[in-house]
Amino acid sequence: MSTVTEEGHGPGLATRFFVGAAILIVVTVGLSVALASGKAEAVARERIRGELLRVPALFAGWRDSQMSARRGQVRAVAEQPGTKALLAEGGGGAETAHDTSLEFARALGAAAVFLFDTHGRLIVRTDRPHEEGGREFAGVSWVSLPLARLTESSAFIAEVSHGPALSLVASAPVLQGAGTERVLNGVLSAAFRMDDERARELGRLAGGEAAFLINAAARGAVPRLEVVGTTEGFRDPGLGRAVSAQSGTTEAQLARGDLPSPFALTARRRDYLATLVPILSGSGEPVGGVVVGRAQDEELAALREIRRSLLGVGALILLLSVPLSFAFARALARPIQQLAIGAEEIGRGNLDVPLPRAGRGEVGALARAFEVMLRELKEKAQLELLAPCPPAVPSSATSSRSATRSAASSGAGEWAPCTVPSTASWTRRWRSRCWRRRARGRPGSSSSAARSSSRARSPIPTSSAPTTSGSRKASASSPWNTWPEPPCASSSTKKAVSR
């Protein structure tokens, strides 16, 4: 595929074309895969961001549905006759109130049940039976609203001192009678933990991982979030610290939701795009938050599959293109290589060199040009071998007669081969003939004198030019009479022409 030239060794045209085609295919496939992957990754990230930006509205809808459902459950228990009778008697004693509250908690599926009197003082709570008895809760929103408006209420509460816990509390007034005879006996409340089950429920709804966080910092301090309920993907001890770094510097920022969203998050050695939604208490204080994340590797799994498919298709194209480009390169370079070899042979004087068959395109045009050039060189060589060199014929009659007599006496009337040189080899051949011609026509030689006497009796006519075959003639106006005097002409002919 490569030829050796006078300048040295180097790859041939076929090799360069093949290597260039292979590089072009590799670069094209690589760029296509890179651009497609980059575009698909950008699209996937934008899709994740768009879905995460809808998480606050999604959580708000889930929160409202949870609150409504929990209020309905608590209202149903508060309307039972046993509940009304228990609170009408002021709880019926601590033991009775505690046991009845435990039954309410099991029926509601709640973590704790609270009983309050008509003034908002705590009668009993199931999770701490011997604590906080008689504590005032009238200033708490989820107790004050049922007392003041006789309607259900709900809110989120955070408990830090007895283990971090985030709960949704639903309250309902316990009323007896109807119409104007309706009497308030107390308030029944139930707390429902935001635990792993609720996190899994929210994660399925959001299509990702979810975790409930509680603000364990003191009031007014920088928020310090701790995980209280999470899905399996977010079960990482450092998740709270990682989210706290994105949660702002003050409670006001967390309360306003002035947070970067979405943000990058790493949990269990996986990269996520996540968003944090603050959870506020009934009074508007940030008691925690919920973080929802989407794993980038899962979102980009389809992209990686597409990338693998593109790489496979690119490798197949490369494998198929290697022999095709090799064959095409050989087909393109073969006629050019043959033309180069032919040019070298023509330069050495060999006009019988074979040339490639002319086809279409630029290579075909080049081959046809070489054929035309070679044909003209061959015709010129044949003319130089066969064409005679005529003697000089003067223009006037007197000069013509004297030149004829002088040429006849010196034997210059013979026809000599043309001496127009083409190559060095032909010039050497013509020179040898000229020297032989001059030797035959040198004065004093017997052969020269005999030929001169015989030719003097039959001088060369001026009206026609002799031919080598005896059949071709030329008139006085023929181009043969205008040819320059050959260098092999005798000195007597030159003198006759000069006279």
Instruction: Pick the closest to residue 299 from 233, 227, 202, 213 (CA basis).
Output: 233
Q: Measured on CA atoms in the order 449, 454, 460, 465, is the torsion positive or negative?
A: negative
Quick one: pLDDT at residue 314?
76
Between CA 50 and CA 332 the distance in angstroms is 54
Residue with the bigger pLDDT between 485 and 155: it is 155
Summarize pLDDT for 100-147 with one digit per residue, the tens. 999 999 999 999 999 999 999 999 999 887 776 788 998 899 999 999
Confidence class of residue 191 from pLDDT cuts 50, 70 and 90? very high
Residues with Cβ within 8 Å of 50's Cβ and at least 6 positions away in sequence, in order, are none
Residue % of the chain over a pLDDT of 90: 26
Quick one: pLDDT at residue 244?
80
Residue with the bigger pLDDT between 376 and 355: it is 376
Summarize pLDDT for 435-493 with one digit per residue, the tens. 555 555 544 444 444 444 444 444 444 444 444 444 444 344 444 444 444 444 444 43
Summarize pLDDT for 277-286 with one digit per residue, the tens. 989 988 888 8
Position 161 pLDDT exceeds 80: no
Residue with the bigger pLDDT between 232 and 360: it is 232
Which of 104-113, 222-231, 241-250, 340-349 is predicted with the least confidence, judged by mean pLDDT?
241-250
Residue with the bigger pLDDT between 76 and 45: it is 76
Quick one: pLDDT at residue 195?
93
CB-based burial, 457-470: b 16+ in 10 Å, e otherwise: eebbebeebbeeee
Instruction: Pick the closest to residue 353 from 342, 344, 364 (CA basis).
Output: 342
Output the pTM of the full model: 0.59
Quick one: pLDDT at residue 432?
60
Confidence class of residue 247 from pLDDT cuts 50, 70 and 90? low
| Average pLDDT of the residues in 174-196 | 90
Query: Exposed, middle or buried by CB within 10 Å (0-12, 13-18, 19+), for 286?
Result: buried
Supply angle C-alpha 43, 45, 48, rounded to 5: 110
Instruction: Pick the closest to residue 105 from 122, 85, 128 (CA basis).
Output: 128
Q: How many residues does the chain have?
A: 499
Quick one: pLDDT at residue 11?
67
Quick one: pLDDT at residue 205?
92
β-strand partners of 496 = none
Position 221 pLDDT exceeds 70: yes
Residue with the bigger pLDDT between 439 and 96: it is 96
Q: Which two tokens stand for residue 237?
A: 């001890």
Quick one: pLDDT at residue 440?
56
Residue with the bigger pLDDT between 250 and 1: it is 250
Quick one: pLDDT at residue 171?
96
Q: What is the overall mean pLDDT for the chain?
A: 75
Position 421 pLDDT exceeds 60: no
| Per-residue H/E/C for 104-161 | HHHHHCCCEEEEECCCCEEEEECCCCCCCCCCECCCCHHHHHHHHHCCCEEEEEEECC
Quick one: pLDDT at residue 243?
85
Which of 60-69, 70-79, 100-109, 348-357 is predicted with the least confidence, judged by mean pLDDT?
348-357
Between CA 262 and CA 333 the distance in angstroms is 59
Hunting for tokens 């070899």 — which residue is that? 341
Summarize pLDDT for 14-25 with one digit per residue, the tens. 677 777 777 887
What the chain holds in terms of domains, given with CATH numbers, is 62-193 (3.30.450.20), 197-299 (3.30.450), 391-498 (no CATH)
- Of 143-152, 319-328, 388-397, give the range with the top mean pLDDT: 143-152
First to last CA, the chain: 66
Q: Provide φ and ψ at 52, rounded to 5°.
A: -70, -30
Q: Which two tokens stand for residue 356?
A: 């490639």
Position 181 pLDDT exceeds 70: yes
Structural contact between residues 369 and 431, judged by C-beta atoms closer than 8 angstroms: no
Summarize pLDDT for 271-308 with one digit per residue, the tens. 898 998 989 988 888 888 999 998 887 777 777 777 78
| Per-residue H/E/C for the chain | CCCCECCECCCCHHHHHHHHHHHHHHHHHHHHHHHHHHHHHHHHHHHHHHHHHCHHHHHHHHHHHHHHHHHHHHHHHHCCHHHHHHHHCCCCCHHHHHHHHHHHHHHHCCCEEEEECCCCEEEEECCCCCCCCCCECCCCHHHHHHHHHCCCEEEEEEECCCCCEEEEEEEEEEEECCHHHCEEEEEEEEEEECCHHHHHHHHHHHCCEEEEEEECCCCCCCCCEEEEEECHHHCCCCHHHHHHCCCCCCHHHHHHCCCCCCEEEEECCEEEEEEEEEEEECCCCEEEEEEEEEEHHHHCHHHHHHHHHHHHHHHHHHHHHHHHHHHHHHHHHHHHHHHHHHHHHHHCCCCCCCCCCCCCHHHHHHHHHHHHHHHHHHHHHHHHHHCEECCCCCCCHHHHHHHHHHHHHHCCCCCEECCCCCCHHHHHHHHHHHHHHHHHCCCCCHHHHHHHHHHHCCCCCCCCCCCCCCCCCCCCCCHHHHCCCCCCCCHHHHHHHHC
Q: Provide φ and ψ at 113, rounded to 5°.
A: -125, 135
Quick one: pLDDT at residue 430?
52
Position 387 pLDDT exceeds 70: no
Quick one: pLDDT at residue 6?
44
Between CA 487 and CA 431 the distance in angstroms is 9
Quick one: pLDDT at residue 330?
76
| Average pLDDT of the residues in 222-238 | 89
